[in-house]
């Protein structure tokens, strides 16, 4: 039976400046000393990936360096874009793809997101595919259908050998940055359905091994009850990851939640 090591990621979005980012990274590194039972990643703005890599590289920290997005293309005339291979060269090992702000603010569609997933996996990165419904879709009872469509289209063409480098983040759009959080029961229900789709796409064993994170206003006060759910394997944290004490408290809530088998 597979076991899933919990994962907590800090998505800094377009926040921090060079020095505040470095000092936040130092605080996270110091606070994670001795934490071996949770995989922790930080996702700084792309401009600061190399300086933050420098902070992580100066310690024996096991904190992973992440990127918030990558290009769907390997190289060429794509002004302003950054390829997965370039990120890998800078020490990035995990990339967020299809975050709701990229879907709904920047306007990315499932086809582009799928090409980014395949580009990231092709360069050896772990890809964290974000899925989730808007408020109107939730109110129309479409949560599971939206998640399923985003998974099926986002993961098209992903080979069995690449599945171990997939992470899914379920992030209901209405909960991101709003202070509103899905109830643990609603989040668990969505996660279990997502794991079912993954089982259908790949295999029951593969689905049981894939981490499915919850994201959407996770805070120290609600992390433990969310992470206690059988199919929630940690979180993708936005606002609370900008405060080291809050982020570390959320990481602490993920300790000891390693789960096996899953709900597939
Ligand atoms: C996110 O950015 O993925 C996120 C979940 O943000 P927040 O925690 O601020 O809702």
pLDDT for the residue numbered 1? 59
> Which residue has the least CA distance to atom 7 on ligand 1?
238
Among all chains, which residue has been given the structure tokens 């992903």?
A: 158
Q: Give 257's pLDDT tier (boundaries 50, 70, 90).
A: confident
Q: Which of 176, 178, 213, 247 to mutate to test the pocket of ligand 1 (most atoms within 8 A of CB)?
A: 176
Question: Residues 5-23: pLDDT tens digits?
Answer: 999 999 999 999 999 999 9
Q: Is 176 in the pocket of ligand 1 (CB under 6 A)?
A: yes
Instruction: Let me know: does 4 contact 224? Beta carbons within 8 Å.
Output: no
- Residue to substitute in 95, 130, 167, 216 for testing ligand 1 pocket (most ligand atoms within 8 angstroms of CB): 216
Beta carbon of 131 within 6 Å of any ligand 1 atom: no
Average pLDDT value over all residues in the chain: 95
Burial 80-108 (b: 16+ CB within 10 A, else e): eebbbbbbbeeebebbbbbbbbbbeeeeb
Instruction: Measure CA of the first residue to CA of the last residue in the chain; give whole Å.
Output: 12
Nearest C-alpha to atom 1 of ligand 1 is from which residue?
Answer: 238
Q: What is the CA(176)–ligand 1 centre distance, in A? A: 5
Q: Which two tokens stand for residue 247?
A: 């982020």
Domain boundaries, the chain: 2-218+225-259
Tokens linked to 191: 């996660």
Q: Which atom of ligand 1 is nearest to the CA of 99?
A: 3
Q: How far apart are CA 222 and CA 218, in angstroms?
A: 6
pLDDT at 264: 39
Closest C-alpha to ligand 1, atom 6? 238
Q: What is the pLDDT of residue 263?
A: 41
pLDDT digits (tens, 9 = 90+) for 192-220: 999 999 999 999 999 999 999 999 999 99
Tell me, what's the pLDDT at 197? 98
Instruction: Write down how long the chain is.
Output: 264
Per-residue confidence (pLDDT) for residue 262, from 0 to 100:
42
pLDDT tens, residue by residue, 233-255: 999 999 999 999 999 999 999 99
Q: Please list the active-site residues.
A: 99, 171
Q: How far apart are CA 7 and CA 218, in angstroms?
A: 13
Answer positive or negative: Cα dihedral of 25, 30, 36, 37. negative
Taking the CA of residue 217 as reference, the ligand 1 atom at the shortest distance is 10
pLDDT digits (tens, 9 = 90+) for 15-73: 999 999 999 999 999 999 989 999 999 999 999 999 999 999 877 778 999 999 999 99
- When pLDDT is averaged across residues 106-111 and rounded to a whole number, the result is 98
Tokens of 98: 């299809």
Lowest mean pLDDT among 29-38, 86-95, 112-121, 185-194: 29-38
**CA 172 to centroid of ligand 1, rounded, Å:** 10
Comparison of pLDDT for 258 and 231, the residue scoring more: 231
How far apart are the CA of 231 and the centre of ligand 1, in A? Answer: 19
**pLDDT tens-digit profile of 122-136?**
999 999 999 999 999
Find the 100 Cα to ligand 1 centroid distance in Å. Answer: 9
Report the CATH fold assignment for 2-218+225-259. Answer: TIM Barrel (3.20.20)
């Amino acid at each position: 039976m597979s076991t899933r090591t919990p994962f907590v990621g800090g998505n800094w979005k377009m926040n921090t400046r060079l020095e505040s980012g470095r000092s936040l990274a130092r605080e996270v590194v110091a606070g994670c000393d001795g934490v071996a039972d949770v995989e922790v990643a930080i996702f700084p703005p792309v401009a600061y990936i190399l300086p933050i890599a420098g902070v992580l590289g100066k310690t024996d920290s096991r904190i992973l360096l992440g990127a918030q997005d990558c290009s769907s293309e390997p190289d060429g005339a794509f002004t302003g874009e950054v390829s997965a291979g370039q990120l890998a060269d800078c020490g990035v090992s995990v990339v967020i793809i299809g975050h709701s702000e990229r879907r709904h603010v920047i306007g990315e569609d499932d086809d582009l997101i799928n090409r980014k997933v395949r580009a990231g996996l092709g360069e050896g990165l772990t890809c964290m595919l974000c899925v989730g419904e808007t408020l109107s879709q939730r109110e129309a009872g479409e949560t599971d259908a939206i998640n399923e469509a985003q998974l099926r289209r986002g993961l098209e063409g992903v080979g069995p050998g690449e599945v171990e480098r997939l992470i899914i983040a379920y992030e209901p759009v209405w909960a991101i940055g709003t202070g509103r959080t899905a109830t643990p029961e609603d989040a668990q229900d969505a996660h279990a359905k997502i794991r079912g789709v993954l089982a259908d796409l790949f295999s029951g064993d593969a689905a049981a091994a894939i981490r499915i994170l919850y994201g959407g206003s996770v805070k120290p006060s609600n992390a433990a009850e969310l992470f206690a759910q059988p199919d929630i394997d940690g979180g993708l944290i936005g606002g609370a990851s900008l405060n080291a004490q809050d982020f570390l408290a959320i990481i602490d809530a993920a300790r000891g939640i390693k789960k096996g088998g899953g709900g597939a």
